[in-house]
Structure 1
Amino acid sequence: MTGIKQRIGHVPKDQWTDDHREVFAFWGEPNAWEEGSKTNVMNVMGNHPDLGKVYNIWGKHFLMNNTLSTRILEIIVLRVSVKANSAYEWHNHVGYAMNAGLTLEEIAAIRDFPEGGDWSKIEDAVIKAVDELIDENNVSDATWETLSAEFDTKQMMDLVFTVGHYVMTSWALAAFGVGIEGGADAIGFDLKTSSGNTPGKTYKPGEKEDWVDTRGY
């Protein structure tokens, strides 16, 4: 991406140890143990294997094993991406959100909240919770009451920690200068791609046999 100043680069291959390879290969990319990851974030995390390995385990819970529905998860991540101005997370999660059934119109309404969007009461409260956590460092009593009427304790905990995880990740991506991968058809906040094509579904690690191919790099 233009405008990104890389501050932490990729570890040279001749310096890789098994610890580096564990970071690169964690998500099951083909040949990642031998050739490294194709994702910029994993290559940067390889600079600190002890951190990279626990970050992967932690992050997998929120992305793959969250007690919240995938639709709710993607609403959260997209709203965090907007609030944190994370082009990297936005680009990746637009495709995930579409795979979870969100339309481009709904994704635009997440970006523009509270304008537009025909949200259910619980979805509206989820977006408000993201904003409150980021802006006020807490969830208001009214929003908590709405959420906890439908979500159990584990889901409430996952909601708060999911917001925190993706804010933390957005900070790291910005501070380290991690840009969208070369070859990817970058999706902007305007929901236009670099090529002018309409954004399409992408798949999470292992979700489909050809999940890597949907990313375009």
Structure 2
Amino acid sequence: MTDIVPRISHCPREEWTDEARDVFAFWGEPNAWEKGSKTNIMMVMGNHPTLGKVYNDWGKHFLMANSMNTRQLELLILRVSWRVKSAYEWHNHVGYGMNAGLSLEDIGAIRDFPEGGNWSEEEVALLQAVDDLIDRNVIGDATWATLTKTLNKKQLMDLTFTIGHYVMTSWALSSFGVQIEGGADAVGFDLRTQSGKIPGKTYKPGEVENWEDTRGY
């Protein structure tokens, strides 16, 4: 992702209104209101605070308050990230997925689906739902029938909107030219890091006290 040229740069310092600072600080990152966020997408969204605020509120539901469990969620997001080739989302959610109990082998199988993977019937349907929506713009009848065996109405609604949200976010990241943060040991689609280290767990905002330290930037 280092060869990506930003099309929309970070919000310039002279435009750091209180509303822009609220966007930077939304996720509870220490000192973000005063110094700006270390997260590139937040600094880009600060260019449009009205949009940035509603985007953050919307996105927080899917990341932090989803009716699906974390493993289900990361299966969906990692599959979306691969299908739409979002290096930014893939990099971040490999660590989140590992924290949700997925192994690197599992994550590789999400990428390679339908090949490999020791998936339950439900998990196959979750991954297929991503492909159905991206390929045909609707979750197919057979996929839906399988999902209804284990998911309730709220989960089915969250599932569908989650896929759409992360496709939309990935489109924006790619179109705006948002780079993986400097200093981060970027995880590629081959599950290798730039440094050659084995990828490890990362934490979502507020999940642990020093969650931001796990990002490496």
Q: TM-score if structure 2 supplies the norm length?
A: 0.99
- Give the corresponding residue for 1:140: 140
Q: Which runs of 4+ in 1 moved over 2 A?
A: none
Q: Deviations over 1:132-183 (max 9, x none)?
A: 0010000111100000111000000000000000000000000000010000
Unaligned segments of structure 2, at least 5 residues: none
Q: 2:67 — aligned with what?
A: 67
Equivalent in the alignment of 1:53: 53
1:1-217 mapped onto 2 (5 Å cutoff): 1-217=1-217
Write the letter of the residue equivalent to 2:99: N
More deviation, 4-13/63-72? 4-13
Deviation at 1:85, TM superposition (A): 0.3
Contact 2:81 2:89 in 1 (8 A): yes
Superposition CA RMSD, Å: 0.5
Partner Cα separation in structure 2 for residue 12 and residue 70 of structure 1 = 35
SS at match of 1:212: helix
Q: Partners in 2 of 1:35 and 1:193 — Cα distance?
A: 28
Percent identical: 70
Given that 2:2 and 2:180 are in contact with CA atoms closer than 8 Å, whether structure 1 keeps it comes out as no
SS in 2 for 1:188: coil
Tell me the CA shift for residue 14 of structure 1: 2.4
Work out the CA distance in 2 between the residues paired with 1:31 and 1:19.
15
Counterpart amino acid of residue 134 in structure 1? I
Partner deviation per Cα, 1:30-82 (whole Å, 9 max, x = no partner): 00010010000000000100000000000000000000010000000000000
Inter-partner Cα distance in structure 1 for 2:3 and 2:73: 29
Q: Count the aligned residue pairs.
A: 217
Report the Cα distance in structure 2 between the residues aligned to 1:43 and 1:60, rounded to whole angstroms.
17
* Aligned-partner SS, 2:10: coil
Cα distance in 1 for partners of 2:47, 2:2 equals 23
Deviation at 1:102, TM superposition (A): 0.3
Distance 1:112 1:37 in 2: 34
Q: How far off is 1:2 after superposition?
A: 2.4
Instruction: Give, as a single letter, the amino acid of the residue that structure 1 aligns with 2:78.
Output: L
Cα displacement (A) at 1:13: 1.4
Structure 1: which 5+ residue stretches go unaligned?
Answer: none
> In structure 1, what is the Cα distance between the partners aligned to 2:37 and 2:213?
14
Could you tell me the TM-score, scaled by structure 1's length? Answer: 0.99
Q: CA deviation at 1:5?
A: 1.5
